[in-house]
């Protein structure tokens, strides 16, 4: 689970770099679209994985 979280965080930072480099030079609509796309595709899974990891750890500790 931690590996998937790292991959999504890396993709999120790489997408931010691409947005900064190309978004302001070309079309500002591209920049806004990429922000929305990046939040949905990369940041949301990271937050869900962190939430689920805490829940799983709590359940494991409850039954040990």
Residues of the domain holding 29: 2-63
Residue 9 is predicted with a pLDDT of 82
Between these two residues, 28 and 52, which has the higher pLDDT value?
Answer: 52
Q: List Cβ neighbours of 2 (8 Å cut-off, separation of 6 or more).
A: 53
Cα distance between residue 41 and residue 8, in whole Å: 8
Q: Which residues contact 18 (CB under 8 A, 6 or more apart)?
A: 34
Tens digits of residue pLDDT in 33-59: 888 888 888 788 888 888 888 898 999
Radius of gyration of the chain (CA): 16
Give the model's confidence band at 19: pLDDT under 50 very low, under 70 low, under 90 confident, else very high: confident
- Residue pair 59/21 in contact by the 8 Å Cβ criterion: no
Tally of domains in the chain: 1
Of the candidate ranges 3-7, 20-24, 53-57, the one whose mean pLDDT is the lowest: 20-24
Asked whether the beta carbons of 13 and 42 are under 8 A apart, the reply is: no
């Amino acid at each position: 689970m931690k590996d998937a979280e790292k991959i999504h965080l890396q993709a999120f930072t790489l997408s931010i770099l691409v947005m900064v480099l190309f978004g302001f030079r070309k079309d500002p609509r591209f920049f806004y679209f990429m922000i929305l796309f990046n939040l949905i595709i990369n940041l949301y899974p990271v937050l869900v994985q962190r939430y689920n990891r805490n829940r799983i750890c709590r359940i494991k500790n409850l039954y040990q």
